[in-house]
Structure formats: structure tokens, C-alpha cells
Amino acid sequence: MRVTRADDAHSTALALFHSALILIVSIAGSPIFAAPIAKENVPASAIAQIRSVLRAQQDAWNRGDIDGFMNGYARSTSTVFISEDTVRRGWQTVRDRYRKKYSSRAKMGTLTFSDLEITLLSSDSAVALGRWRLKRANDQPHGRFTLVFKHLPEGWRIVHDHTSAAKE
């Protein structure tokens, strides 16, 4: 049997086709192509979990449970809370501030969070922007907040809180 140049070209083309097919199948099954599909559920889940933390904080506040409210914050000395032109550092410091400033149910009132915008910055960090309002017998203080969340072993927690009160 005589091998011609056409047979050589056909064999080479067939080998290239099989190599390309193996490469395409390998790449299509790789994490590079699978990542966008897997990540579609991560943001929705993370945002739902962060909303749940904020809802739990609101509920705890409205029960008069400052410790429950504080569960939304990272229990760390590096936790930051900014308000009234003051920077406070550390979970315990923030807790002490809340206990002193809101020492009775009347001072706590009823808390409502609204206009929440949550943006994931990475798979383990997010920023939340929103409004807060207290309904009390004699006033209704309100304002805005920006929260930085970090995904920790215990779940999503606030690591940085910048809260401001409106002047009116």
C-alpha cells in the first residue's frame, strides 16, 4: 500500500481535529467556564444574609435587646463606629456607647431601617447604605448609615459603621 501526500494531510487534519476537540471539552468543563454560573447565586445569597443581619438587629432593638443588636457587629477590637464627629474602636466600646445613650426603652424607641442598598465588594466583603429612624414619644430622630460588612466564620458582620443624624 502506498501512502500519498493526501493521506498524510488527512491524518494530520484528523489528529488536529481530535486534539482541538479534547481541548474544547477540557476547557468547557474547567472552573474558568463554570465560575460565572456558580457565582450567580453567591451575590444573591450574601445579600440575603446581610439583609437578615440587619433585620435581626432591627428586631433586637425593638425588643430592647442591645446585646442582640450588637450581634450584628464583629466582636473585635478593630470594629469601628463613627457618629457625632467621634470615632469609637472596638466591639465593647460600641456596646458601652449604646448602653449609655439608650439606657431605657423610651430612649430606644422603635427602630426602622429603610432604603437599603447592598453592594458586594468581594466574596467576603460588602457595603450597605441605608436610612434609620427612631420613633419615640417626643421625637423621631433619623439619618443615614454606611456599613462595611465582612464575611467571618460566624457569618456576615459589621466591621465599620458610619452613622449620621439628620438635623431636623
Copy the grid coordinates of residue 144: 443615614
Indicate the burial class of 127 (C-beta count within 10 angstroms; 0-12, 13-18, 19 or more).
middle
Residue with the bigger pLDDT between 13 and 78: it is: 78
Region 105-122: mean pLDDT is 97
Q: What CA–CA distance (Å, rounded) separates 164 from 141?
A: 10
Residue 43: predicted pLDDT = 82
Residue 140's contacts (CB-CB under 8 Å, 6 or more residues apart) are 133, 134
Copy the grid coordinates of residue 148: 462595611
Q: Tell me what percent of the residues of the chain surpass a pLDDT of 70.
A: 75
Q: What CA–CA distance (Å, rounded) separates 34 from 157?
A: 29
**Which tens digit of pLDDT belongs to each residue from 131-157?**
999 999 999 999 999 999 999 999 999
Q: Where are the alpha helices (DSSP H) in 29-90?
A: 31-39, 41-62, 66-70
Reported as a pLDDT band with limits 50, 70 and 90, residue 44 is confident
For residue 140, how far is the Cα from the chain centroid? 28
Q: What CA–CA distance (Å, rounded) separates 97 from 80?
A: 12
Instruction: Compute the mean pLDDT over every residue in the chain, rounded to the nearest whole number.
Output: 84
